[in-house]
Structure 1
Amino acid sequence: MEIIVTEDYESMSRSAAEIILRQLKDKPDSILGLATGSTPEGMYRCLIKAYEEGTADFSKVQTVNLDEYIGLKGTHPQSFRYYMDTKFFDWVNISKKSTYMPDGMELCIDKIADDYEKKLEEIGKRDIQILGIGGNGHIGFNEPADSFAEYVNVVELTEETIAANSRFFSDGNVPKRAVTMGIKDIMSAERIILIVSGSSKRGILKKALYGGITPKVPASILRLHPNLVVIADREAGEELEEVR
């Protein structure tokens, strides 16, 4: 495990983007696992800037996203498809046909999970998987539980997660279910980059990295990955010991 503590959010974002850019230089047809939320926005801005400056090419890249809300169309402003399009894909030379996400509008819940699991198998192993961490330790939408869900699954979101997401929904209609990659899916990536920002994540990040490995703190399983990079800004990572 490599732990990098940066001075601020911007430098955290640059550090994560630089790893991706090196990956694309070495392997232009890389498969990237991507995440949504406020934390990776700065990283996407850095990648867009690199493309605009002519130092990044996404034309051969394939991407798979961690999760999606159940019941939101891809055109809904709070869907993760809309997020990815407007925050990243629309600004670089990636083919939308090479960007994959779960179908939150599929009427058959079991089919949503089965179809996306098959897609992950079809695409193959991700070279890099980007992750954030929830306030309760969730990764993707794998909430604290009695056991780790291995494969793509539909989850009932906890009240804590719904409350945390409510700031994005002005009408108060926060989805209560989501479809997410499972833990085995996440752990199958060649490299995992966990990016964490802000003092509110300090306690759970320390617990995930130094506490027991337990499904009660889903992110704790990441310590078993052979190529985990944790990049935290100073507010989130001030109690961590840097390891390079």
Structure 2
Amino acid sequence: MEVVILDEPRQLAHVAADAVAAQLAGTPDATLGLATGSSPLAVYDELAARCSRGELSFAAARGFTLDEYVGLPADHPERYRTVIDRDFVSRVDFAPGAVAGPDGLARDIPAACAAYERSISEAGGVDLQILGIGSDGHIAFNEPGSSFASRTRIKTLTRQTRVDNARFFGDDVDAVPTHCLTQGLGTIMEARHLVLLATGQKKAEAVHQLVEGAVSALWPGTILQHHPHVTVLLDPAAASRLQLAGYYRETYAGKPRWQGI
């Protein structure tokens, strides 16, 4: 796990975008894992800007989103498929139909989840997955207590997650759906490169557990300690609980350029 602490969110977005650009340069038809939420927004802004300047292209790439609320109407502005289209997909040059997500309106939810797993596998798996982390350590919507072997499935959201997401629903926690479909931790761990972004003091304890804590289902993100290629991008506030923050800064400052990200 590589931990990168930079002073400005724009710097973090630039590093994450560099990782995506390097992936596309080597594999133009790469499969990307796309997260929603506030953490990746600056990354999507940076990627959209580079695409508009002709510096990179998503024309041959594919994308899979991490999760989706259950039961939100197709035209709801906070449906995650709508959100990812608005925040990113519509701003770059993905081919029509190249980005897929779990079907939160499926009549047969277990069958829809199994089909989503198959579609990821048939695409060759995810090359680079963008991630955020919740204040309680959840990754995607894998809440505390989730199985490390879990696959795409329905989950019940914790009260804390619904409170955290109420800002997208007019600060009305009761308007936040109770259930979601989410890629499982086992699914996410099969991506070849994980790029996780976290900013702000509210994420500090989750980041501390993610990087330096014991691997535990109480903090689902800690499973990433067992992945061979994880990049954790942090601002000083999110990194404020890290005991080895000085070391992480030193190692990144002295990193050989040939290693990339």
| Structure 2, unaligned runs of 5 or more | 253-261
Q: Which residue of structure 2 lines up, in the alignment, with residue 235 of structure 1?
A: 237
Aligned ranges 1:164-243 → 2 under 5 Å:
164-170=164-170, 172-238=174-240, 239=242, 240=245, 241-242=247-248, 243=251
Moved more, 139-148 or 192-201: 139-148
Amino acid at match of 1:133: I
| Structure 1, unaligned runs of 5 or more | none
Q: Which residue of structure 1 lines up, in the alignment, with residue 259 of structure 2?
A: none
CA contact (8 A) 2:71 2:104 kept: yes
Q: CA deviation at 1:162?
A: 0.7
TM-score computed with the length of structure 1 as normaliser: 0.96
Moved more, 72-81 or 161-170: 72-81
Q: State the alpha-carbon separation in 2 of the partners of residues 185 and 43 from structure 1.
A: 23
Amino acid at match of 1:117: E
1:27-51 CA-to-partner distances (Å, cap 9, x unmatched) read: 1111101100011000000000001
Q: 1:65 to 1:146 in 2, by over 3 A?
A: closer
Amino acid at match of 1:8: E
Moved more, 108-117 or 124-133: 108-117
Q: How many positions carry a matched residue from both structures?
A: 244
Q: CA deviation at 1:149?
A: 4.7
Q: Which residue of structure 2 lines up, in the alignment, with residue 17 of structure 1?
A: 17
Aligned ranges 1:34-49 → 2 under 5 Å:
34-49=34-49
Moved more, 176-185 or 102-111: 102-111
Q: Which residue of structure 2 lines up, in the alignment, with residue 130 of structure 1?
A: 130
CA contact (8 A) 2:67 2:80 kept: yes
Provide the alpha-carbon RMSD of the alignment: 1.3
Q: State the alpha-carbon separation in 2 of the partners of residues 182 and 149 from structure 1.
A: 7
CA contact (8 A) 1:112 1:179 kept: no
Secondary structure in structure 2 of the residue aligned to 1:222: helix
Aligned ranges 1:130-149 → 2 under 5 Å:
130-145=130-145, 147-149=147-149
Amino acid at match of 1:237: A
Q: State the alpha-carbon separation in 2 of the partners of residues 222 and 162 from structure 1.
A: 24
Q: Which residue of structure 2 lines up, in the alignment, with residue 113 of structure 1?
A: 113
Q: CA deviation at 1:220?
A: 0.2
Q: 1:36 to 1:224 in 2, by over 3 A?
A: same
Q: 1:22 to 1:146 in 2, by over 3 A?
A: closer
Q: State the alpha-carbon separation in 2 of the partners of residues 103 and 73 from structure 1.
A: 11
Q: State the alpha-carbon separation in 2 of the partners of residues 155 and 74 from structure 1.
A: 20
Moved more, 37-46 or 3-12: 3-12
| Aligned-pair identity (%) | 34
Q: 1:162 to 1:149 in 2, by over 3 A?
A: farther
Secondary structure in structure 2 of the residue aligned to 1:163: helix
Runs of 4+ that moved beyond 6 A: none
Q: State the alpha-carbon separation in 1 of the partners of residues 92 and 210 from structure 2.
A: 34
CA contact (8 A) 1:31 1:61 kept: yes
CA contact (8 A) 2:146 2:220 kept: no
TM-score computed with the length of structure 2 as normaliser: 0.90
